[in-house]
Amino acid sequence: MAHPVPPRGDGGLTRDLLLSGRFADQIRLMQPDMRLLSDAQRHSSLQSILADRPEHGSGLWVFAYGSLIWNPAIHVAESRLARVTGWHRSFCLATRAGRGDAETPGMLLGLEEGGECVGAVLRVAEEHVATELDILWRREMVGHGYIPRWLDIESLDGKTMGRAIAFTIDPNGPNFAGDVPERELIRRIANARGMLGTSWDYLVNTRHGLRELGVADPLIERIGAIIEALGVDI
């Protein structure tokens, strides 16, 4: 039996949850051995990014390649299609809390080096930079999974658009899973479930969000088609 297509949005990961600080508490409860960033570490990471900010005045761009496309949870002034080169979308981050558990870790997307990636860039208005990036860091930098960077972005016809914040995978992080065999990757995505929902919901919502942008990501389309053909418990 194939999975039903879930509704848009993510009822688990909300702006209010991130602002309350309960998101980190829930992860700590579900995965007590996971090393979480302290408030001071998270603040330092954010300030380091802002110190390298390439331009000011009209806000800044955030590159969305996964769930940020369909559930940003931050105020977005504008969204455009964009591409980064030198990085590609990959199911390379294991989760034992959000969309999986200890027995069947879920799989989330990250940017790995090499290739290119088409996604959306989300503009945060200048007057909201401080508040919205704080929320974004509470979401993406709760653990040691990503390395935030400024990446060059361009339109699909090759025109330079400036730079955007992107959350690239930390290959030395404790939850890096870029070497998971494809059969195991498929099994996890088909079956993993955590406090935020299933890994399958994550894939389908990301696929739908990309399709709305006119993007058919080969990896997501192929993995999704395999799971829909085979169904659950594979």
Q: List C-alpha distances in Å: 184 to 31, 104, 230.
A: 21, 10, 14
Q: Are 61 and 163 in contact (CB under 8 A)?
A: yes
Beta-carbon neighbour count of residue 222 at 10 Å?
Answer: 12
Catalytic residue from among 55, 103, 126, 140:
140
Which residues sit opposite 87 in a β-bridge?
113
Q: Is 221 a catalytic residue?
A: no
SS3 of residue 89 by DSSP: strand
Q: Are 118 and 87 in contact (CB under 8 A)?
A: no
SS3 of residue 128 by DSSP: helix
Active site residues: 140
